[in-house]
Amino acid sequence: MEWQEVVVRLFKNKISLIGLILIIFFGVIAIGAPWIAPPSDPSEPYMVPRAGWGFEPQPPSSEHIFGTAEGQYDIFYGIIWGTRTAFRIGFIIVGISSFIGILVGTLAGYYGGWFDEVVMRITDIFMAIPFLIAAIVMTTILGQGLRNVMIALITFGWMNSARLMRSQVLSIKEEEFVIAADALGAGDFRIIFKHVILNTIFPLVIEASMRMGSMVITASTLSFLGIGAPEGYADWGQMISFARNWILGGEGNAIKYWFTVVIPGGAITLFCLSWNLIGDAFRDILDPKLQ
């Protein structure tokens, strides 16, 4: 299927249209962040401003539309600038780990033999370690910070695409057009990049789109556990971790501090939802049997 047709169908499918609209919405927020929520200190726009030094979260008011979290961090500001953080985390992690996965999977599948065997066993070793634990350990070793979270998630996030790519390459390697290219004297490099990868890339795109959501969730989980973004950094996971002490509310009103959980949680959920919707619609288009 030509990619133009895929794009047209993505726009026609209601489910993926909702996903696309959501992503565009988040994209506009991310790009427009300096205008939607002007930073008080332009040199450090990602640090969430504090409206005081009180401990207790304050409910939404005209000054702070979404209220403030523990320590008077402005939730609205955190959400808006956190959108940029989420996009950055998602694109960098998924981009680099997909690239590694595609490269490893293609080479292993294309050359086969002992090379394939060694590479796939290494992949198995990486897959044997529980993902979240591995990410926590690696981040702790490297030190707190978003950059280290990204390094850890890339290190343990490329295996699925490598395996997927390898199985794709294995099945397409024997196709006539690859053999024909080989017979015409095309080099390995040309065959891999012009024929093999271009014809096997779509399942990887689906997988990458789905992984976008799960990686942002994992990154925010690490922030939630306190080993991701430094305190005060605009990050959705961290906004939620501020809420941990306030879940039970107070003074006979248990959901008094709902805004500290629901608003950042809603942002993460919608963000992941949009990528998952697109990935799912993609799969329907490419593999109608699965519907």
DSSP state of 242: G
Residue 269 touches another protein, criterion: CB under 8 A: yes
User: Of 138-197, which residues contact another protein (CB under 8 A)?
Assistant: 140-141
User: Of 52-81, which residues contact another protein (CB under 8 A)?
Assistant: none
CA atoms of 179 and 224, how far apart (whole Å): 51
Residue 21 touches another protein, criterion: CB under 8 A: no
Q: Computed from CA positions of residues 181, 186, 187, 191, in that sequence, does the dihedral angle turn out positive or negative?
A: negative
Number of amino acids touching another protein (CB under 8 A):
43
Encoding tokens for residue 86? Answer: 């989420």
Residue 136 touches another protein, criterion: CB under 8 A: yes
Q: What helix, strand, coil percent values describe the chain, rounded to 5?
A: 75, 5, 25
In the complex with another protein, the residue whose CB is nearer, 162 or 227, is: 227
Residue 175 CB, shortest distance to another protein, in Å, is: 26
Encoding tokens for residue 130? Answer: 């529980």
**Can you tell me which of 6, 15, 96, 100 binds another protein, judged by CB under 8 A?**
15
Judged by CB under 8 A, the stretch of 40-48, 91-99, 187-195, 243-251 that binds another protein is 243-251
183: three-class secondary structure by DSSP:
helix
Encoding tokens for residue 190? Answer: 């040309």
| Distance (Å) of CA 50 to CA 89, 228, 242 | 24, 20, 13
Judged by CB under 8 A, the stretch of 113-121, 161-169, 170-178, 283-291 that binds another protein is 283-291
Cα-based angle 110, 116, 163 (whole degrees, multiple of 5): 80
In the complex with another protein, the residue whose CB is nearer, 182 or 284, is: 284
In the complex with another protein, the residue whose CB is nearer, 152 or 178, is: 152
Cβ-Cβ contacts under 8 Å for 37 (sequence gap 6 or more): 76, 77, 80, 81
In the complex with another protein, the residue whose CB is nearer, 124 or 188, is: 124
Residue 272 touches another protein, criterion: CB under 8 A: yes
Residue 208 touches another protein, criterion: CB under 8 A: no
Given a contact cutoff of 8 angstroms between Cβ atoms, the answer to whether 162 and 105 are in contact is yes
253 phi, psi to nearest 5 deg: -125, 95
Given a contact cutoff of 8 angstroms between Cβ atoms, the answer to whether 209 and 282 are in contact is yes
Residue 268 CB, shortest distance to another protein, in Å, is: 6
Report CA Rg, the chain: 22
In the complex with another protein, the residue whose CB is nearer, 80 or 278, is: 278
User: Of 247-266, which residues contact another protein (CB under 8 A)?
Assistant: 247-249, 254-255, 258, 261-262, 265
Residue 128 touches another protein, criterion: CB under 8 A: yes
In the complex with another protein, the residue whose CB is nearer, 32 or 130, is: 130
Instruction: Tell me the sheet residues that pair with 68.
Output: 58, 74
**Can you tell me which of 29, 75, 107, 243 binds another protein, judged by CB under 8 A?**
243
Would you tell me which residues interact with another protein (CB under 8 A)? 15, 128-133, 136-137, 140-141, 213-214, 217, 220-221, 224-227, 240, 243-244, 247-249, 254-255, 258, 261-262, 265, 268-270, 272-273, 276-277, 280, 289-291
